[in-house]
Amino acid sequence: MGQYDVTTAEQLLGHYGEVSFRAARKVHGSVDQHDRDFIARSPFLVLATVGELPDVSPRGDLPGFVQVLDDGSLLVPDRRGNNRIDSLLNVVQDPRVALIFLIPGVGESLRVNGTAAISADPALLSRCAVEGSEPATVLVVTPVEVLMQCPRALKRSRIWDPSTYTDPDDLAPMDVVLADQIPGLSVEESIALGRASGDKPLW
C-alpha cells in the first residue's frame, strides 16, 4: 500500500465533487418503455457476476435477443458454446448480476443491476429459439436498479469510429495465442480445434 492509496469512503468522496442533478436521480427500479426500446435494439451486452472470483462475460446475438417479460424481468439466453459456464456457476453461488447493453453507433448505454436465476423451463427456452435452435438455459434477471449511462466513455474511446479500428492482422490469431498459453498444445492442433469450433452452428 502506498501513501497515495485511497482506502476509505471519506477519502474517495473527497476526491470528487457533488453528484450532478440528473445522475443522482436517474436510477429507477424497473424497466420502463425507454429501457424496453433500448433492449429491443441491442445486439450486445456485458454480464458481470460474483462468485469466488468476479466474472465479466460478453453476450451477443441478434438485436432484441434479450426479452422483457410481462413482469419486467429480463430473459437472457445462454447459447451453447465451449461449455465454460463461469457466469452461470457464479449465479448459482450468488444471484447478484450487472448488465450493460450497447447499441452500435449509439453513445449511450443501458445499465441493469439486479438478481438472476438460471432456468431450463421449456417454455422459456422455446421463446429464445433462433433458427429452431434453443439455448441451453436462460438467465431470468430481476432488475433492482436501471439507469442510462452517459456517452462520455464511448465518445472518449471512439469505439464506433471506424477510422480508429485496429486491423485484425496486426494481432496474433487466437489459434496462435492459445497454442502459446496452453502447455502441450501445438499451433497445428490449436488451428484444427479452432476450425472445428468455427464449423459448429452459430445457434
Query: Model confidence over 131-180: pLDDT tens digits?
Result: 999 999 999 999 999 999 999 999 999 999 999 999 999 999 999 999 99
Average pLDDT, the chain: 95
Instruction: Give residue 183's pLDDT.
Output: 97
> Are 120 and 185 members of one domain?
no
69 & 45 share domain = yes
Same domain, 72 and 170: no
Say whether both 61 and 122 belong to one domain. yes
Q: Is the pLDDT of residue 1 over 80?
A: no
In a domain, 2, yes or no: no
* % of residues, the chain, pLDDT over 90: 87
Residues 148 and 185 in one domain: no
Q: Which domain holds residue 65?
A: 9-157
Which CATH number do you get for residue 13? 2.30.110.10
Q: Both 36 and 19 in a single domain?
A: yes
Residue 143 lies in a domain: yes
How many whole angstroms separate alpha carbon 43 and alpha carbon 135? 16
What's the CA gap between 86 and 94, in Å, rounded? 12
Residue 98 domain flag: yes
Q: Is residue 108 part of a domain?
A: yes
C-alpha cell at 119: 432456468
pLDDT band for 199, please (50, 70, 90 cuts).
confident
| Sheet strands (E) in the chain | 44-49, 55-60, 67-68, 74-78, 96-102, 109-119, 137-149
> Is 134 in the same domain as 175?
no
> Does 57 map to a domain?
yes
Regarding whether 18 and 74 lie in a shared domain, the answer is yes
> What's the total number of domains in the chain?
2
Asked whether the beta carbons of 107 and 151 are under 8 A apart, the reply is: yes
Q: What is the pLDDT of residues 94-130, one digit of tens each?
A: 999 999 999 999 999 999 999 999 999 999 999 999 9
Tell me: do 173 and 152 sit in the same domain: no
